[in-house]
């Protein structure tokens, strides 16, 4: 099944240019054909093509489906981008496939990479969303200084910080989280969070956690953290248990 991505389809009844082109030029869909489009915010539309325009394909909506979120709350993964951009791009694809609401690239004291290409990560997220038949596209933030990220999450229901220093006692994320509530997990750079960063986070209620007994690369840790929510959610029955 092919899903077109049309964030404003409900109001404009039109596919954006790139998806119009893909639909009409590449896939040769024409007037009267039925297609599926998603708005990236949880709705999937069944549409009939009214005008097979290669830049602004017009449709009528013949069915609307609200896709239940995979988790009752929102999942945000904040991660210090890796030195090699391809690992961050890979992570964006995988997080989107598995299911995430927000990806925040963190600028930390020990960050090896201090800039990202936000638009490129957004593009990868859209592509992964279409591929995985999801209807939710994660919000991809621009690079965010760690202290700003901490401030912005003062009110988040549950917040975790995973870091490698084993001088502090930590619980396993899988055992510390409460299924269904909004959650954010911060994953540090290869050089780990600084003690000041950990203190600042803990001061506003971040809970220090471990992801298990392996030393994971940054991007692997971010992926495992996100997957932990889904698995625990499945076991608690708050994740969608309907296989599809």
Q: Is 175 in the site for its own copies (CB under 8 A)?
A: yes
Told to check if 158 binds its own copies by CB under 8 A, we report no
Q: What minimum distance in Å lies between the beta carbon of 152 and its own copies? A: 27
Decide: 44 and 135 in contact? Cβ < 8 Å.
yes
At closest approach, how far in Å is the CB of 163 from its own copies?
10
* Choice between 88 and 224, CB closer to its own copies: 224
Asked if 228 interacts with its own copies (CB under 8 A), we say: yes
Task: Pick the closer one to its own copies by CB: 52 or 185.
Answer: 185
The one segment of 14-22, 75-83, 91-99, 149-157 that binds its own copies by CB under 8 A: 91-99
CB 229, min distance to its own copies, A: 10
- Is 81 a binder of its own copies (CB under 8 A)? no
H helices of the chain, in order, are 9-12, 17-21, 85-98, 118-131, 146-152, 173-176, 195-203, 218-236
Provide, rounded to whole angstroms, the least separation between the CB of residue 94 and its own copies: 6
Q: Does 89 bind its own copies (CB under 8 A)?
A: no
Integer Cα distance of 45 and 67 in angstroms: 10
**Does residue 178 bind its own copies (CB under 8 A)?**
no
By CB under 8 A, residue 216 contacts its own copies: yes
Dihedral over Cα of 63, 6, 233, 90: its sign: positive
| CB 188, CB 108: distance < 8 Å | yes
Strands 183-187 and 144-145: unpaired
Contact 66, 45 (CB under 8 A): no
Longest dimension (CA), the chain: 65
Residue 242 in contact with its own copies, rule: CB under 8 A: yes
Nearer to its own copies, 85 or 147 (CB): 85
DSSP secondary structure string for all residues of 80-134: PPPSSHHHHHHHHHHHHHH--SEEEEEE-TT-S-----HHHHHHHHHHHHHHTT-
Q: Footprint of its own copies on this chain (CB under 8 A)?
A: 70, 90, 94, 97-99, 131-134, 166, 170-172, 174-175, 209-210, 212-217, 220, 223-224, 227-228, 230-232, 234-235, 239-244
């Amino acid at each position: 099944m092919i899903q077109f991505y049309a964030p404003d389809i409900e109001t404009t009844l039109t596919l954006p240019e790139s998806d119009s082109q893909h639909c009409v030029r590449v896939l040769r869909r024409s007037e009267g054909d039925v297609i599926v489009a998603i708005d990236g915010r949880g709705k999937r539309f069944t549409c009939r093509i009214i005008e097979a325009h290669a830049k602004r394909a017009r449709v009528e909506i013949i069915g609307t489906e609200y896709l239940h979120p995979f988790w009752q709350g929102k999942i945000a993964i904040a991660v210090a981008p890796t030195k090699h951009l391809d690992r961050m791009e890979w992570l964006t694809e995988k997080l989107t496939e598995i299911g995430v609401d927000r990806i925040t690239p963190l600028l930390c004291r020990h960050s090896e990479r201090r800039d990202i290409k936000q638009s490129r990560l957004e593009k990868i997220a859209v592509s992964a969303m279409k591929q995985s038949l999801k209807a939710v596209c994660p919000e991809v933030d621009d690079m965010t200084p760690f202290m700003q990220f901490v401030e912005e999450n003062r009110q988040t229901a549950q917040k975790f910080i995973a870091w490698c220093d084993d001088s502090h006692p930590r619980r396993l994320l899988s055992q510390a989280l409460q299924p269904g509530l909004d959650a954010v997990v911060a994953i540090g750079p290869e050089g780990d969070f600084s003690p000041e960063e950990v203190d600042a986070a803990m001061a506003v209620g971040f809970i220090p956690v471990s992801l298990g007994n392996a030393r994971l690369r940054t991007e692997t840790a971010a992926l495992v953290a996100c997957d932990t929510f889904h698995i625990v959610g499945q076991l608690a029955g708050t994740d969608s248990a309907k296989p599809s």
